[in-house]
């Protein structure tokens, strides 16, 4: 069992997104002692859901580390969340009567960048459920995109899934040529025709559409013309993000997000050559952020 002093050396790192919230417990030697995963952590889709997920993921991480006896009120947490780039949500989360000793709140983009470059300056392109570009250089944050689905997030999993559904509907109507995606999508969603498809997909979330993204890449890799056009369009958007970030001369640039393994090979060769593997996960970036902010606090006190 850890002593009081050792408990003070532990930090919680939390990464809350639209589909899940992941927490880690990390010690002073940067060892991850435990991990916990709970439901969605983006307050844009519900404040109560997000706060419950944050607390639950933290408790699960402590259990995983065999530290269930440690109370959340004894620990400082770095919390990086999707959605808090909107000022109203940032203020709402800051006002949360949280169960931790102290929290340091940041956007999911900042913690992803800090994690990817181990707390140093750099840039990231993110293509997961959503998409965006972000850099952190000399203390200055710069963001591209992150406007949300369906009006933004081009080149994301949600965008690819939506394009698949659109093209299948157009091809059923005879407006565009048929695609490998037709039968695959209809079968996957249990639909017999366009009417059934519309009934199934109407009003669905970004997370739902992102689950359809892989079928676009599967079809493109088989040479399907319709899928190839979708993949090329999405990849070119990510290329443009990389080139815009490159103008700020980041020391390193990484690509992260669940769609990275599928999309990265389709990027321009010069962009691929510039990419560095992320050094750590976003939740580690949350810990790095919390430690940095805590050090600033202590410096002011002294």
Q: What is the pTM of this model?
A: 0.87
Task: Name the residue among 291, 273, 283, 296 with its Cα closest to residue 58.
Answer: 283
DSSP the chain: ---HHHHHT-EEEEEE-SS-EEEEEE-TT--EEEEEEES---GGG-HHHHHHHHHHHHHHHHHHTT-TTS-GGG-EEEEEETTTTSHHHHHHHHT---SSSEEEEEEHHHHHHHHHTTTSSEEEEEESSSEEEEEEETTEEEEEE---TTTS-TTSHHHHHHHHHHHHHHHHTTSS---HHHHHHHHHHT-SSHHHHHHHHTT--HHHHHTTHHHHHHHHHTT-HHHHHHHHHHHHHHHHHHHHHHTT--S-EEEESTTHHHHGGGS-HHHHHH----SS-HHHHHHHHHHHHHHHHHHHH-
Q: What is the pLDDT of residue 4?
A: 58
- pLDDT in 10s for each residue of the chain, 302 residues: 565 557 778 999 999 987 789 999 999 999 999 999 999 999 988 999 999 999 999 999 999 999 999 999 999 999 999 889 889 999 999 999 999 999 999 999 999 999 999 999 999 999 988 899 999 999 999 999 988 888 989 999 999 999 999 999 999 999 988 999 999 999 999 999 999 999 999 999 888 999 999 999 999 999 999 999 999 999 999 999 999 999 999 999 999 988 999 999 999 999 999 999 999 999 999 999 999 999 888 788 76
Contacts of 106 (CB under 8 A, 6+ apart): 78, 79, 80, 81, 84, 286, 289
What the chain holds in terms of domains, given with CATH numbers, is: 4-118+280-301 (3.30.420.40), 157-274 (3.30.420.40)
Q: What is the pLDDT of residue 19?
A: 78
């Amino acid at each position: 069992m850890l002593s009081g002093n050792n408990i003070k050396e532990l930090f919680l790192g939390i990464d809350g997104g639209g589909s899940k919230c992941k927490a880690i417990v990390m010690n002073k030697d940067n060892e991850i002692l435990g991990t916990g995963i709970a439901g969605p952590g983006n307050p844009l889709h519900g404040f109560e859901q997000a706060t419950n997920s944050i607390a639950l993921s933290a408790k699960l991480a402590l259990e995983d580390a065999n530290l269930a006896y440690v109370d959340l009120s004894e620990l400082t947490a770095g919390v990086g969340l999707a959605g808090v780039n909107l000022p109203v949500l940032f203020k709402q989360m800051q006002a949360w009567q949280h169960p931790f000793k102290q929290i340091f709140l940041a956007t999911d983009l900042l913690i992803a960048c800090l994690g990817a470059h181990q707390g140093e300056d750099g840039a990231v392109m993110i293509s997961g459920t959503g998409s965006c570009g972000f850099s952190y250089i000399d203390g200055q944050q710069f963001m591209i995109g992150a406007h949300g689905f369906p009006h933004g997030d081009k080149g994301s999993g949600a965008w690819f899934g939506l394009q698949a559904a659109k093209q299948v509907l157009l091809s059923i109507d005879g407006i565009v040529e048929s695609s490998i995606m037709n039968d695959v999508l209809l079968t996957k969603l249990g639909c017999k025709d366009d009417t059934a498809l519309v009934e199934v997909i109407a009003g669905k979330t970004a997370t739902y559409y992102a689950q359809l993204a892989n079928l676009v890449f599967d079809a493109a890799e088989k040479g399907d013309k319709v899928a190839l056009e979708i993949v090329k369009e999405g990849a070119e958007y990510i290329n443009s993000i990389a080139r815009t970030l490159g103008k700020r001369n980041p020391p390193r640039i990484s690509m992260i997000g669940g769609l990275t393994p599928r999309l990265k090979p389709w990027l321009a060769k010069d962009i691929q050559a510039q990419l560095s593997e992320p050094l750590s996960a976003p939740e580690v970036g949350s810990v790095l952020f919390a430690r940095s902010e805590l050090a600033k606090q202590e410096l002011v006190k002294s």
